[in-house]
Structure 1
Amino acid sequence: MTELWLIGIGTGSPGHVTLEGQAALKAARTVLIPRKGTGKEDLADLRHRILHNAGSTARQVHFDYPARDPALPYEPRVRLWHDEIARRWQTALGGAESPVALLVWGDPGLYDSTLRIAGRLSPKPRLKVIPGVTALQALTAAHAIPFNTVAGAVTVTTGRRLRDHGWPEGAETLAVVLDGEASFLTLARPDLTIWWGAYLGMAEQILDHGPLPEAGPRIARTRAAARAAHGWIMDTYLLRTEDTA
């Protein structure tokens, strides 16, 4: 049975890989590396750099990441996309020497579908998960702010849920991930402060924060320009009500 190691690699800095992660990368015999298309080559380059820094001598197997079908409703679109990713993993794993490592941007267990995709493989591999620095850790560290207020709760959600359902009732701190649409602009809340970051941990890192009515449009413009310049963007943000900011 193939042993598959899912290794969190943080959000862009090779320093985000834990010592446990580095040891696993050095011990792995095969590493799967996704290629995400034109303009996103630096995502694979970062993985190569992390492997080099860890002293990895593993065989590197590249595979092309599929695109989602925008014509489908969201849930079937994602389900079919995951099915196709699993098929490509299955092909890449054919004849691979175990243990096999897959480098996961951020953390394999926090708003990431790597574990769900691995569950589609047949025969099922033995899984080992090594956590990495999450985007939320990197964001709060970059802004030098606490994740929560004193004894306060934090709600973690997605941009899609924020657009569809608005501000969760009773929430004081909201951490938002997977937002490709600048969903904070849908909130007509003058009492909110936003802390935003993109390319966290990378040389290209961009940060901004301030009252949402002022900072929101500015962040949306910055985000659009950065995405156009790099061909991709990974960002996240924290929102907090004014009386607890």
Structure 2
Amino acid sequence: MKHLLLIGIGPGNPRQITLEAIDSLNRADVFFVLDKGAAKDDLLRLRKELLERHVTRPYRLVQVEDPQRDAAAADYVGAVEDWHRQRAALYGRLLHDELAEGQCGAFLLWGEPTLYDSTLRILERVAQPAFSLEVIPGISSVQALAAAHRIALNRIGEPLHILPGRRLADESGIDNVVVMLDGQCAFAELDDPHLHIYWGAYLGTADELLIEGPLMQVKAQILAQREQARARKGWIMDTYLLRRR
């Protein structure tokens, strides 16, 4: 049977890859890499550097163009479903055409494969060829954010909520919320003077940006820094914690 590894490689710092992940890299015969376009060459380059640094056995790299989600679609759920179908068809072709029986393939996934990453759900749609699956956990951007700001994610006796940016407006009574995938900067619409924000972008990398303070005082600074960074690099990965003081 064919075997597939989903390897969490952390949010960007090459030193944050785990020993288990390095061992897993050296089990793979084929690495599947999705090319997201010139604007995100940094993400592709880091994956290749990790392989060059840590893999000591012969391997093959299969690089393919990643299907793009229609970010302007009015039906968000429908657009994501269509994107997942395209990716599932691509993954099925890769497993069929590029991985021989008895071989081990691998995807290198940013952060933690089980937290706001779609690969596991997409692979559920791939019925053929048959393959076994193993997930190697990684450090998430949420952990990296807390470490960079030197804070504990949870407070005593309180829950921690994690949600995507598009759901922030639906959240009532924000007390301790981590927000990911907030391309529309939903935090900027909040006007609660009691909220404190811990924001970070490109966490763990040489380009890391950190801002923290009362939301009403620093949100304009975050918006400006975010726009400048995105214009400079062509992409941005950021996350933040909102906490009621």
Q: Same fold (TM over 0.5)?
A: yes
User: What amino acid does structure 2 have at the position aligned with 1:4?
Assistant: L
Shift of 1:34: 0.8
Structure 2 CA distance for aligned equivalents of residues 125 and 114 of structure 1: 15
1:213 aligns with 2:216: yes
1:162 aligns with 2:196: no
Structure 2 CA distance for aligned equivalents of residues 153 and 58 of structure 1: 44
Q: What residue in structure 1 maps to residue 203 of structure 2?
A: 200
Shift of 1:228: 0.9
Deviates more, 1:62-71 or 1:178-187: 62-71
What is the root-mean-square deviation in Å for CA atoms of aligned residues?
Answer: 1.2
Q: TM-score, normalised by structure 1?
A: 0.94
User: What amino acid does structure 1 have at the position aligned with 2:27?
Assistant: A
Structure 1 CA distance for aligned equivalents of residues 46 and 98 of structure 2: 25
Structure 1 CA distance for aligned equivalents of residues 217 and 165 of structure 2: 19
Shift of 1:72: 4.6
Structure 1 CA distance for aligned equivalents of residues 98 and 9 of structure 2: 25
Structure 1 runs, 4 residues or longer, greater than 4 Å off: none
Shift of 1:122: 2.2
Q: Secondary structure at the match of 1:27?
A: coil
Q: What residue in structure 1 maps to residue 54 of structure 2?
A: 54
Q: What residue in structure 1 maps to residue 243 of structure 2?
A: 240
What are the equivalent positions in structure 2 for 1:61-80 lying under 5 Å apart?
61-69=62-70, 70-80=72-82
What are the equivalent positions in structure 2 for 1:39-188 lying under 5 Å apart?
39-56=39-56, 57-69=58-70, 70-93=72-95, 94-97=97-100, 98-123=103-128, 124-163=130-169, 165=170, 167-169=171-173, 171-188=174-191
User: What amino acid does structure 1 have at the position aligned with 2:12?
Assistant: G
Check the 8 A contact 1:10/1:133 in 2, yes or no.
yes
Number of residue equivalences:
239
User: What amino acid does structure 2 have at the position aligned with 1:81?
Assistant: W
User: What amino acid does structure 1 have at the position aligned with 2:82?
Assistant: L
- Which runs of no fewer than 5 residues in structure 1 stay unpaired? none
Q: TM-score, normalised by structure 2?
A: 0.94
User: What amino acid does structure 2 have at the position aligned with 1:222?
Assistant: Q
Structure 2 CA distance for aligned equivalents of residues 129 and 176 of structure 1: 24
Structure 2 CA distance for aligned equivalents of residues 43 and 73 of structure 1: 28
Q: Secondary structure at the match of 1:201?
A: coil
Q: What residue in structure 1 maps to residue 233 of structure 2?
A: 230
User: What amino acid does structure 2 have at the position aligned with 1:25?
Assistant: L
Structure 1 CA distance for aligned equivalents of residues 144 and 166 of structure 2: 22
Shift of 1:91: 2.2
1:34 aligns with 2:3: no
Q: Secondary structure at the match of 1:218?
A: helix
Structure 2 CA distance for aligned equivalents of residues 116 and 127 of structure 1: 12
Q: Secondary structure at the match of 1:40?
A: helix
Shift of 1:49: 0.9
- Which runs of no fewer than 5 residues in structure 2 stay unpaired? none
Check the 8 A contact 1:63/1:92 in 2, yes or no.
no
Structure 1 CA distance for aligned equivalents of residues 84 and 2 of structure 2: 20
